[in-house]
Amino acid sequence: MPKDSGIGAPSKRREDVRFLTGAGNYTDDINVAGQKYVVFLRSSVAHGNLNKVDTAAAAAMPGVVHIFTGDDFAEIGGLPCGWQIHSRDGEPMAEPPHPVLARGKVRHVGDPIAAVVADSVEQARDAAEAIELDIEELPAVVDMTDAISGNAAQVHEEAPNNLCYDWGFVEENRDATMEAFEGAHHVTTLELINNRLVANPMEPRVCIGDFNAPSGESTLYTTSQNPHVIRLLMGAFVLGIPEHKLRVIAPDVGGGFGAKIYHYAEEALCTFAAKTLKMPVKWTCDRSEAFISDAQGRDHKTKIELALDADGKFLAIRTETLANMGAYLSTFAPAVPTWLHGTLMAGTYTTPLIYCNVKAVFTNTLPVDAYRGAGRPEATYQLERVIDVAAREMGIDPVEIRRRNFIPADAYPYQTPVAVAYDTGDYHGTMDKLVEVADFAGFSARREASKAKGKLRGLGICSYIEACGIAPSALVGQLGARAGLFESCTVRVNAAGGVVVMTGSHSHGQGHETTFPQVVSEMLGMPEEMIEIVHGDTGRGPMGMGTYGSRSIAVGGAAMVRATEKIIAKATRIAAHLMEASHEDVEFKDGMFSVAGTDKQVDFGSVALSAYVPHNYPLETLEPGLEETAFYDPSNFTYPAGAYACEVEVDEDTGVVEIASFAAADDFGNIINPMIVDGQVHGGIGQGIGQALLENCVYDESGQLASGSFMDYAMPRADDLPMYTVDHSSITPCTHNPLGVKGCGEAGAIGSPPAVINAVVDALQSGGHNVTHLDMPASPDRVWAAIQAAK
Amino acid sequence: MYNFDYVKASSVADATAALGGDAQAISGGQTLIPTLKARLGQPSSLVDLSGVAEMSGITAGDGSVTIGGAVTHHAVSESGDVPASVAALAAGIGDPAVRHRGTIGGSVANNDPSACYPSACLGLGATIHTSGGDVAADDYFQGMFDTALGEGQIVTGVTFPTPAKANYQKFVQPASRFALVGVFVSQMADGYVRVAVTGASESGVFRWSDAETALAGNFSADVVPAAPSADGMIADLHGSAAYRAHLISVMTKRAVAAC
Ligand SMILES: Cc1cc2nc3c(=O)[nH]c(=O)nc-3n(C[C@H](O)[C@H](O)[C@H](O)COP(=O)(O)OP(=O)(O)OC[C@H]3O[C@@H](n4cnc5c(N)ncnc54)[C@H](O)[C@@H]3O)c2cc1C
């Protein structure tokens, strides 16, 4: 019997009532009295010397309040990078400045040059057009291989040869890995591209800067996944505003997918403008501007080699990757192709030797940073593709080759050769589940049925793992993070019994307002409706590190459990006093305190009331009130894992690939709300299928964005996607957090691209087309071209 | 968007009087409004054709049907008077919002190389009614975004002859879902065959005469020639010239088979 509330219940998403009735409160819904409007003048060329920005005529236009240019920020810090990587030679990465507004040079299409503040958006736009620019266009560098070739344009003086870093991992294993290849029975080599993506959350970014002159407090409303982090980065590193004079509010946020983690120039500009001009200012990005101002995702070029013995056991893996940073280092960009990527190269397998070399490269393109999965999809894709190719070359069934190499269920904790240690898992278990729910047994009949319709049917699988619940501060600190990655929570029990949970996690689609109360409801034995979540406001909650890396329930949820445990401990002492018993004898169950072996009892509400009306209260030993804060810093990442299967039908005449079915068998540890988990997996798979079949961010040689609108950038639509079979009944609880949870936000986007491409290749092979590999997206023209090339 | 004056025309005469200079016609606005929002045009005034009485309505004639220039794609898609192939084509344009505003006049006037209607006009041998007189479809479409419309002239309607058989096959561009290649095939009662191709050529919609010749003798998918030459075909992010040329043959076969 499924529960109807608390942990494990499919509680309906309470936030959806306001979202679905148009009553959400998004940043653009907020208007501050007297606000002015900001419009950015952006570079229309990818690379050029910015010789002159003449604002005189524009500044005199109707409605114009002020025009900011790069010179206004000459004395102020640029946008900081939150992660430092060291190259193989021990040198720190090249970290060129990232100005708020360009000075001297523009480095990508969309690079902000000036910001006009005016009474209306249209007036600001008119004035922006009237700014006189003298840009001497320079040759642009777009392709990564060209960028480091020695004869390309230089994006930054500080980064010779456009190299940000040259990272090796695990450096100590390098020689042994190379040796393992020498004597290997079989080596499979694959070169592939992980295509660049545009996140495209439904809500484009918005920021409003406000300044209260009497108190000296700045407020920034922004579409962010982590308002506290923005407060820290912008306050401390850019504008020099102490945290007690800076409040950052991220209200309802319409999707992030990574693109709203970072600290952006527009946030700093609006905060700075409001303070300088002593008036509120608002910037609303539209879709076209989002294409040239949001950080983009992925964009790796990789050569991966897998060494195997005669039985198909993996002996060693080595990879060479070029990772595009774009024109500037976005907040967490350097971490994505390194620590979020190299550490996942063991996958679910026992491969003893792994060596990855990653060169991060500057180009005249938009900055690239984490996008749903961040590094882990790139790792999983290359690994699961090369394994499939190896299986085909060696004549081993794709399920079988994976099973021969899985980390056995009794090997935990399992120390991988790539730094991380998995706490729990059972990859045979999820594969067994997949074989069942995806009905592998019926595949050949389905293939025949497709053939009768004139279609080639393929089956592709993938076994993925990810490191989530990001993560232990001590570890990420060693790895170069310039921030801690704990989470905090305050639980406030009000006098009349209602509970407010203030979390540093941020919900922008994930459903925290529903799942977080489920946990507290279970612990305190009170209805979910009595519990409310507060998040997204540095003025209303404690410190927080935000939501990304599937960390909310694993880290933020754990902090909430710790704070609630403190509440129960204190309430137990109050109850003991009220029942005139020793607190050691008091039990708390289903919202009721009782003294063991007696009929004495007192309910939670009475205890809460006496905490605030302490007439009869142990004031000598306990403070009044019932509010507790906990900070939680986990001892390890969590390791969700699973197995995915995709079936496709390919039309040989046109190259069209249709997803015939998609099944996921995930191990997310314990589940708080199975319905919300289904939704997270559905969305992730949707994005993964988007990457695999449709989405592609393309620049032409001059650095112009060729896929700069939805006319050319193909977002997946509902009819591009199948009905999914989603199973998360395989559960190996996480051993180091109090809920035993692992996180589920990114799995779908990580596990699905290789499953789709493996299926497409399988379909083509079944039709006699000798196609070994196909880069994403497997769009109709590419599939058709691959068939022609194989003829 | 830059400021402009707004003129609501109630007759064709009204509209043409208001057009000229930097004035511009607006019908459904599905193409024009995004252009204006991006500040890619600066008309002095917009002359709204949606209320022009002579341009509304669908009129069934003897062996033909006339669709007013201001009729929406949605209305065409629901009409029992237009050939089923044309109704189906209209039903496949954009999404419901686009179909409820976008018009046949706007589409035919704009002559986007990836638009659907131009292939129906050419593929059925339609007559384009303009404020300057009637023009045969064969003379009307003159290349990408180029038509026989003179300065200040508007499309007031389109008359389609009723075919014996006709079908439109659209291969969608994955992002925009306009036609990457669209082929409209028809055969008239007297056996005359037309094959009109949109989306593929750098010179806009065109008739594929090799296929017409082959099909005139034997209207069957088997005789459709292999891909035409890729010279002059559009190559972009979504398909090479060779791919488009190949699709022309595939879509033509499918259209003939579906007739
Ligand atoms: C999301 C989306 C998807 C679409 N998908 C498709 C598709 O799959 N296939 C397809 O064919 N089209 C598609 N379209 C285009 C759509 O069909 C437009 O409606 C059509 O191209 C223009 O018609 P309109 O009435 O909106 O014209 P408007 O946008 O009002 O005008 C377009 C141009 O024609 C001029 N004009 C308008 N009416 C006349 C007239 N009667 N005489 C002379 N000039 C005139 C205007 O001055 C302007 O230059 C799509 C559009 C959108 C927004």
Please provide the DSSP assignment of A610-656 as one string: HHHSTTSS-TTTS-SS-EEEEEE--SS-B--EEEEEEEEEE-TTT--
* Predicted local distance difference test score (pLDDT) of residue A524: 96
Looking at the structure, tell me whether residues B29 and B12 fall in a common domain.
yes
With an 8 Å Cβ cutoff, are B174 and A714 in contact? yes
Say which of B39, B178, B243 has its CB closest to residue A781: B243
Looking at the structure, tell me whether residues A225 and A98 fall in a common domain.
yes
Chain B, nearest residue to A126 by Cα: B2
Is residue A170 reached through a cis peptide bond, with omega within 30 degrees of 0 on the bond before it?
yes
Q: Does A719 touch chain B (CB under 8 A)?
A: no
Looking at the structure, tell me whether residues B42 and B110 fall in a common domain.
no
ipTM confidence: 0.96
- The arithmetic mean of pLDDT across residues B194-203, rounded, is 98
- Choose one of A632, A658, A691: the last residue of a domain: A632
Looking at the structure, tell me whether residues B66 and B154 fall in a common domain.
yes
Looking at the structure, tell me whether residues A98 and A211 fall in a common domain.
yes
Ligand 1 center from residue A485 Cα (angstroms): 51
Ligand 1 center from residue B29 Cα (angstroms): 6
Atom of ligand 1 nearest to the CA of B31: 29
- The arithmetic mean of pLDDT across residues B65-84, rounded, is 98
For residue A78, pLDDT over 70 is answered with yes
The candidate with the shortest Cα–Cα distance to A517, out of A509, A507, A527, is A527
- The arithmetic mean of pLDDT across residues A307-325, rounded, is 98
Looking at the structure, tell me whether residues B61 and B35 fall in a common domain.
no
Q: Does B247 touch chain A (CB under 8 A)?
A: yes
With an 8 Å Cβ cutoff, are B243 and A696 in contact? no
A513 within some domain: yes
Atom of ligand 1 nearest to the CA of B33: 29
With an 8 Å Cβ cutoff, are B38 and A288 in contact? yes
- Choose one of B14, B29, B47: the last residue of a domain: B47
Instruction: List the structure tokens of B91.
Output: 């039903």
Say which of B39, B240, B250 has its CB closest to residue A781: B240
Rg, C-alpha atoms of chain A: 27
- How many beta carbons lie within 10 A of that of residue A675, not counting itself? 17
For residue A549, pLDDT over 90 is answered with no
Looking at the structure, tell me whether residues A130 and A276 fall in a common domain.
yes
Looking at the structure, tell me whether residues A555 and A674 fall in a common domain.
no
Q: What is the mean pLDDT of chain A?
A: 96
Q: Which residues of A touch B250 (CB under 8 A)?
A: 653-654
CATH number at residue A618: 3.30.365.10
For residue A64, pLDDT over 70 is answered with yes
Looking at the structure, tell me whether residues A497 and A621 fall in a common domain.
yes
CATH number at residue B194: 3.30.390.50
Helices (H) and strands (E) in chain A, counts: 19, 28
B25 ligand 1 Cβ < 6 A: yes
Q: Is the pTM of this model over 0.80?
A: yes
Atom of ligand 1 nearest to the CA of B156: 41
The per-residue pLDDT for range B110-154, each reduced to its tens digit, is: 999 999 999 999 999 999 999 999 999 999 999 999 999 999 999
- The rounded distance, in Å, linking the Cα atoms of A651 and A488 is 52
Ligand 1 center from residue B26 Cα (angstroms): 9
Instruction: List the structure tokens of A785.
Output: 């071209």
CATH number at residue A251: 3.90.1170.50
Looking at the structure, tell me whether residues A640 and A746 fall in a common domain.
yes
- Choose one of A589, A606, A632: the last residue of a domain: A632
Nearest CA to ligand 1 atom 39: B106
Specify the number of domains making up chain A. 3
For residue A471, pLDDT over 80 is answered with no
Looking at the structure, tell me whether residues B60 and B141 fall in a common domain.
yes
Determine the distance in angstroms separating the CA of B84 from the nearest CA of chain A, rounded to an integer: 24
Contact A481, A468 (CB under 8 A): no
Looking at the structure, tell me whether residues B152 and B187 fall in a common domain.
no
B24 ligand 1 Cβ < 6 A: yes
Q: Does B140 touch chain A (CB under 8 A)?
A: no
With an 8 Å Cβ cutoff, are A710 and B238 in contact? no
| Domain of A68, in residue numbers | 31-138+202-255+260-291
With an 8 Å Cβ cutoff, are B175 and A288 in contact? no
Q: What is the mean pLDDT of chain B?
A: 97
Looking at the structure, tell me whether residues A490 and A615 fall in a common domain.
yes
Interface test with A, best of B39, B238, B252 (most A CBs within 10 A): B238
B27 ligand 1 Cβ < 6 A: yes
Looking at the structure, tell me whether residues B78 and B129 fall in a common domain.
yes
With an 8 Å Cβ cutoff, are A780 and B174 in contact? yes
Q: What does the DSSP 8-state code read for residue B147?
A: B
Contact A533, A501 (CB under 8 A): yes
| Helix A604-612 × helix A557-578 angle, to 10° | 80
Say which of A125, A715, A785 has its CB closest to residue B243: A785
Looking at the structure, tell me whether residues A655 and A624 fall in a common domain.
no
| Domain of B225, in residue numbers | 165-258
* C-alpha dist (Å) from residue A310 to A313, A379, A382, A401: 7, 25, 22, 11
For residue A739, pLDDT over 90 is answered with yes
Looking at the structure, tell me whether residues B33 and B94 fall in a common domain.
no
Looking at the structure, tell me whether residues B67 and B127 fall in a common domain.
yes
Q: Which residues of A touch B38 (CB under 8 A)?
A: 288
By CB neighbour count within 10 A (0-12 exposed, 13-18 middle, 19+ buried), where does B201 fall? buried
Looking at the structure, tell me whether residues A521 and A664 fall in a common domain.
no
Instruction: List the structure tokens of A456.
Output: 């080639």
B9 ligand 1 Cβ < 6 A: no
Q: Which residues of B touch A784 (CB under 8 A)?
A: 243, 246
H helices of A247-358, in order, are 265-277, 287-291
Instruction: List the structure tokens of A535.
Output: 């998040």
Determine the distance in angstroms separating the CA of B220 from the nearest CA of chain A, rounded to an integer: 18
The per-residue pLDDT for range A372-395, each reduced to its tens digit, is: 999 999 999 999 999 999 999 999
Q: Does B239 touch chain A (CB under 8 A)?
A: yes
- The rounded distance, in Å, linking the Cα atoms of A580 and A336 is 57
Looking at the structure, tell me whether residues B85 and B147 fall in a common domain.
yes
Residue from B46, B47, B104, B107 whose mutation best tests the ligand 1 pocket (most atoms within 8 A of CB): B107
CATH number at residue B35: 3.30.43
Residue from B86, B98, B112 whose mutation best tests the ligand 1 pocket (most atoms within 8 A of CB): B98
* Predicted local distance difference test score (pLDDT) of residue A1: 58
Instruction: List the structure tokens of A637.
Output: 């990442």
With an 8 Å Cβ cutoff, are B238 and A696 in contact? no
B154 ligand 1 Cβ < 6 A: yes
* Predicted local distance difference test score (pLDDT) of residue A478: 85
CA angle A742, A532, A529 (to 5 degrees): 100
Looking at the structure, tell me whether residues B108 and B179 fall in a common domain.
no
Is residue A413 reached through a cis peptide bond, with omega within 30 degrees of 0 on the bond before it?
yes
Instruction: List the structure tokens of A189.
Output: 């080599």
Looking at the structure, tell me whether residues B34 and B99 fall in a common domain.
no
A450 within some domain: yes
The per-residue pLDDT for range A696-705, each reduced to its tens digit, is: 999 999 999 9
- The rounded distance, in Å, linking the Cα atoms of B198 and B181 is 6
With an 8 Å Cβ cutoff, are B239 and A713 in contact? no
Specify the number of domains making up chain B. 3
- How many beta carbons lie within 10 A of that of residue A527, not counting itself? 12
Q: What does the DSSP 8-state code read for residue B80?
A: S
- The arithmetic mean of pLDDT across residues A733-747, rounded, is 96
The per-residue pLDDT for range A561-577, each reduced to its tens digit, is: 999 999 999 999 999 99
Looking at the structure, tell me whether residues A222 and A247 fall in a common domain.
yes
Looking at the structure, tell me whether residues A371 and A276 fall in a common domain.
no
Looking at the structure, tell me whether residues A285 and A305 fall in a common domain.
no
Q: Write b or e for each residue in A51-83: b if 16 or more Cβ atoms lie within 10 A of its Cβ, otherwise e.
A: eebebeebeebebbbbbbbbebbeeebbbbbbb
Q: Does B240 touch chain A (CB under 8 A)?
A: yes
Say which of B171, B176, B178 has its CB closest to residue A654: B171
- The arithmetic mean of pLDDT across residues A14-40, rounded, is 97
A1 within some domain: no
Q: Which residues of B touch A711 (CB under 8 A)?
A: 175-176, 178
Instruction: List the structure tokens of A156.
Output: 């930054």
B169 ligand 1 Cβ < 6 A: no
- Choose one of A596, A613, A632: the last residue of a domain: A632
The candidate with the shortest Cα–Cα distance to A349, out of A316, A323, A326, is A316
- The rounded distance, in Å, linking the Cα atoms of A119 and A123 is 7
B69 ligand 1 Cβ < 6 A: yes
